[in-house]
Amino acid sequence: MAYVAAIDPGSIVSKRKTAIRGAFFTEFVDMFDIYLPTVILTPALEYFQPRHMPAGLEGILTSLVFITTLLGRPVGAVLFGAIGDKIGRRKTTIMSVFGFSIITLLIALIPGYRSIGIAAYWLLVIFRFLDGVCLGGGYTGSHPLAMEYSEKSRRGFVGALILAAFPLAYILITLLGMLAFAIFPQGGPTSPYEVWGWRIPFLIGALLAGWLVLYYVRSVPESEVWQQSEKAKVPLLSAFKGENGRSFLQVFTMMTGFWLTQNIVTLVLPTTVLRTFLGMSGFPLTLTLMIAYAVLFGSYIAAGIIGQKIGRRTFFIILGPVIAVFGTALLAFILNGQGMPLISIIVLVCVFAAIVTSPWGVIVTYINERFSTGVRASGFALGFSVSVIIPSFYAFFMDWLGHAMPYRFTCLVLLCIGGILGAIGAMAGPETRDVDFTEAGE
């Protein structure tokens, strides 16, 4: 039975805009913070570690800085997802964003190895894990809140717009990195960049998150759909039961496939494909990636609009095989692109990235539509974040496949499997375009 309330149309429009802006800014700040270590901190890790370590130990210590953040995100998503269904989307977003604002600030203030020894490194790792926990909570409150305020006919566009903040964050952090590298000389743990130059982008990240907290406190209202819904006693457990449990298994399957394909674009393409096999580095590599991410901003929104037109499920079922066949063929062509002009590589990378990542322009809307209001934050958190765990081991999968085939082509196998798995997962679920969030039991 639908609820009925006296509604001021002007008030609803204003609330809708602030909620959507809030989700967009949250995604932007979230991804800005995620990319800080990969772009800004990597050249300065010697500042936190003893010098002249064995290469294997150095590699392990370096990877832990990034792995702990990835491990923290699913933990935070599950924790804050349950909180979001219990006390509200707005309060949850404020709590999580405030958390990673403070932690990012603390990271910027960590002394180096010369001051406190190996404790400097362990503080960095612990803070990055806690940062990941809070980052995992940012979108579990803000994204369902924006979806619940969106008009049904525009949910596809809104979900795509929110995710489009991700490539913009990558572009900004890359530009900040280039500026920091140009201003502060690098060259060992006592160089200006490694002592304090890397801290400035982290301070900027903390300030951005602090501003976002104030925006939610002053401007963003709580979800009226959630306020008038029946609350689950234990949202996290309810997300695994009955229809919600079946929705989780279906979304988990689909998202495992699409996380696998996403990792090929965001992680394998820049390092293994372009840097290692094509020998790109410096300005050509940075230019290629920045143009590709600029294209993704538009391609995400286009995907969301198309998904609204033809249906989310239909979109995934079509794109899965397209990724598996055409995307794999494009990647194979790029892998054999030694000697190609830079402009040709840029065009190929842009087309490849736009095709393979296009499901992400539809994913936020779709997952929110798959769960009832009482467990929507928990369901979104579980479906979106827990499914990243298996694909995160892509490097191990590539290594295992490398024993049976040339290593350079192992990413083609994973891309094909991911596209097919994504389509199979989508086929197992219903179309969600006409789900009405204002109906009880939706």
Confidence check: pLDDT of 2 > 50: no
- 175: tokens are 């530009």
Q: How far is residue 301 from each of residues 234, 326, 350, 371, 422, measured CA to CA in Å?
A: 35, 21, 15, 23, 20
pLDDT in tens, 340-394: 999 999 999 999 999 999 999 999 999 999 998 888 998 998 899 889 889 988 8
* CATH code of 39's domain: 1.20.1250.20
d(CA 151, CA 336): 46
What was the pLDDT predicted at 4? 41
pLDDT in tens, 265-276: 998 999 889 988
d(CA 14, CA 176): 33
Cα distance between the two ends of the chain: 10
Does residue 385 share a domain with residue 305?
yes
Q: Does residue 377 sit within a domain?
A: yes
- In Å, how far from its chain's centre is CA 234? 27
Q: Does residue 378 sit within a domain?
A: yes
Does residue 291 share a domain with residue 180?
no
Nearest to 358 by CA among 193, 124, 163, 200: 163
Does residue 243 share a domain with residue 215?
no
Does residue 287 share a domain with residue 203?
no
- 14: tokens are 């204003």
Does residue 414 share a domain with residue 373?
yes
Does residue 315 share a domain with residue 261?
yes
Which of 190, 219, 248 is the last residue in one of the domains? Answer: 219
Q: Does residue 190 sit within a domain?
A: yes
Spatial neighbors of 235 by CB under 8 A, at least 6 apart, are: 81, 82, 85, 86, 374, 375, 377, 378
pLDDT in tens, 279-320: 998 889 999 999 999 999 999 999 999 999 999 999 999 999
Q: Which residue has the higher pLDDT, 34 or 148?
A: 148
What was the pLDDT predicted at 5? 43
Q: Does residue 1 sit within a domain?
A: no
What was the pLDDT predicted at 6? 45
Q: Does residue 168 sit within a domain?
A: yes
pLDDT in tens, 73-108: 889 988 998 899 989 999 999 999 999 999 999 999
- 22: tokens are 């809030």
d(CA 440, CA 420): 34
pLDDT, average across residues 222-230:
86
Which of 219, 246, 263 is the last residue in one of the domains? Answer: 219
pLDDT in tens, 113-139: 889 998 999 999 999 999 999 988 888
What was the pLDDT predicted at 47? 87
Does residue 215 share a domain with residue 322?
no
Does residue 247 share a domain with residue 112?
no
What was the pLDDT predicted at 296? 97
Does residue 268 share a domain with residue 212?
no
Does residue 73 share a domain with residue 166?
yes
Residue 262's domain comprises 234-434
Indicate the pLDDT class of residue 8, thresholds 50, 70 and 90: low
Provide the number of structural domains found in the chain: 2
Indicate the pLDDT class of residue 163, thresholds 50, 70 and 90: very high
Which residues sit opposite 439 in a β-bridge?
2
Q: Does residue 373 sit within a domain?
A: yes
Indicate the pLDDT class of residue 232, thresholds 50, 70 and 90: low
pLDDT, average across residues 4-19:
72
What was the pLDDT predicted at 50? 81
Q: Does residue 441 sit within a domain?
A: no
What was the pLDDT predicted at 365? 97
**CB-based contact 120:129 (threshold 8 Å):** no
d(CA 66, CA 223): 34
pLDDT in tens, 181-203: 889 888 777 889 988 899 999 99
pLDDT in tens, 92-101: 999 999 999 9
- In Å, how far from its chain's centre is CA 257? 15
Q: Does residue 225 sit within a domain?
A: no
Does residue 180 share a domain with residue 61?
yes
pLDDT in tens, 22-70: 999 999 999 998 888 878 887 888 888 887 766 666 666 777 777 788 7
For 124, counting Cβ atoms within 10 Å of its Cβ (0-12 exposed, 13-18 middle, 19+ buried), the class is: buried
- 262: tokens are 């996403």
pLDDT in tens, 237-263: 777 778 888 999 999 999 999 999 999
Does residue 151 share a domain with residue 182?
yes
Which of 196, 219, 242 is the last residue in one of the domains? Answer: 219
Residue 282: how many other CB atoms lie within 10 Å: 7
